Amino acid sequence: MRSSSVNHLIMKSLQQDQAHLTAQQVYERIRSSLPAVNPSTVYRALERLAHAGLVSVSDMGQGAAVYESVGEEHHHHLVCQDCGSVIQVEDAFFKKLFQQLQAEFNFQLVTNHLILFGRCPACRENASGRGL
């Protein structure tokens, strides 16, 4: 099996509905079109794609890293620690900060998918209703 076809299937499954998938979920999606594929082949291909900057790897508080295809437009997320809801944030919010950091520290950033944890409005409301 050529690894290029595995790469292609990985990118296709990640691009579908802009998915954030764990390595296990990526493997399961690929297995439906390539039943003979070995999980470690998929995991190694994911690592190579991440290293090449085509795929981002993030901890979104789900206990396992999630992979996502990196498009032309970067985006970031606010993740609620209580209910797990995810808000997508445009890169415009962070672009300036990234540029300033690179200039100030002469440091080339490769992070392209920021995950910031916190509490969503609904959970804050619940907490205050319970007097917490």
**Can you give the binding site for Zn ion, defined by CB under 5 A?**
68, 80, 82-83, 85, 120, 123
- CA 10/CA 129 separation, integer angstroms: 44
- Which C-beta is closer to Zn ion: that of 31 or that of 77? 77
Residues found in the chain: 132
Q: How far apart are CA 19 and CA 68, in angstroms?
A: 6
Structure tokens that stand for 49 in this block:
């794609």
Q: How far is the CB of 28 from Zn ion (least distance, A)?
A: 19
Smallest distance, Zn ion to C-beta of residue 91, A: 11
**Closer CB to Zn ion, 28 or 91, in the complex:** 91
- Whole-number minimum distance, CB 63 to Zn ion, in Å? 17
Planar angle of CA 6, 18, 3, nearest 5 degrees: 10
Minimum distance from CB of 120 to Zn ion (Å)? 3
Locate the DSSP E strands across the chain: 21-22, 55-59, 65-69, 75-80, 86-90, 115-118
Nearer to Zn ion, 37 or 78 (CB): 78
Q: Which residue's CB is nearer to Zn ion, number 52 or number 83? A: 83
